[in-house]
Chains A and B, each alone.
Chain A
Amino acid sequence: MAILHTVNKSPFEKNSLDACVRLAVKGASVLMIEDGVYGAMKGTNKSDVVTGAMGDVSFYVLGPDLKARGIGEDKLIDGIKVVDYSGFVKLTVENDKVQAWL
């Protein structure tokens, strides 16, 4: 039963990303949206949360939310895939359910 996890909070303000990574099974997908996209940046105090889980789960980030916040794709942790709104929909239908880490 594949789960798509969404994280919409900054990892510096809430522990949503930590909780998500801690409780996602191998093979799960994690999509960072809204303020959650700050978790996709490399070279931060929180980058290890994503890089440490990269072998087990697939990470995605919503492009329009990156652009709104001035985050270029060159600032992202290697291996995170950027998706647009239709990619978001695709991930939703490809998985059996969605867990939103608010």
Chain B
Amino acid sequence: MSETKKFMYVNRKAPYGTIYAWESLEVVLIGAAFEQDVSLAFIDDGVYQIVKGQNTTELGIKNFSPTYSALGDYDINKIYVEKESLEARGLTVDDLLHLTWEDENEDWAEKDSIKVVSSSELKTLLDDSDVLLNF
């Protein structure tokens, strides 16, 4: 069993209001151990999960947003954010966490993991995936 499948995690919920966002991140990190081809998509309110500058001190709950920065170390570097979802919420890529990975084939050059894609690009990515995991 060495077949590699293309996994797509589809994230559509805001963080903190429900547990979906954190659960998704946990599953992504667990799944990373299985050496599959993993992509993440942030759609609709899911884009709020990766907004930078989150500080939950006054809520008394864990701020899990720094954990997204660890994804690059697990070779998870295909993070797609839907352009239309950002625009509807008055957000740009500058409002998001700066997520990077190091390319071992290019002398560990640091590269951006986040790619802003249009709905039409994203639908193709979803269509090309073997497994869809929804949060």
CB contacts (< 8 Å) of A41 on chain B: these are 89-90
Bound Cα distance A44, B88 (Å): 5
Asked whether, in the complex, the Cβ of B51 is within 8 Å of the Cβ of A70, the reply is yes
Output the least CB separation between A45 and chain B (Å): 4
**Main SS of the interface on chain B?**
loop
Report the interface size for chain A: residues with CB under 8 A from the other chain: 26
A64 at interface by CB-CB < 8 Å: yes
**Band of interface residues on B:** 20 to 34
B124 at interface by CB-CB < 8 Å: no
Output the least CB separation between A88 and chain B (Å): 12
Asked whether, in the complex, the Cβ of B51 is within 8 Å of the Cβ of A68, the reply is no
Bound Cα distance A75, B57 (Å): 20
Interface string of B29-68 (1 = CB under 8 A from A): 0000000000000001100100111111111010101000
Asked whether, in the complex, the Cβ of A68 is within 8 Å of the Cβ of B90, the reply is no
Of the residues B44, B58, B95, contact of A68 by C-beta under 8 Å: B58
Smallest CB gap from A12: residue in B: B45
Bound Cα distance A47, B88 (Å): 10
> What residues make up the interface of B, taking CB atoms closer than 8 Å to A?
13-18, 44-45, 48, 51-59, 61, 63, 65, 88-90, 95
Instruction: Please list the 4 inter-chain residue pairs (A to B) with the smallest Cβ-Cβ separation, ordered nearest first.
Output: A43-B90, A35-B17, A64-B58, A70-B53
> What residues make up the interface of A, taking CB atoms closer than 8 Å to B?
8-10, 12-13, 34-35, 38, 41-45, 47, 63-65, 67-72, 75, 84-85
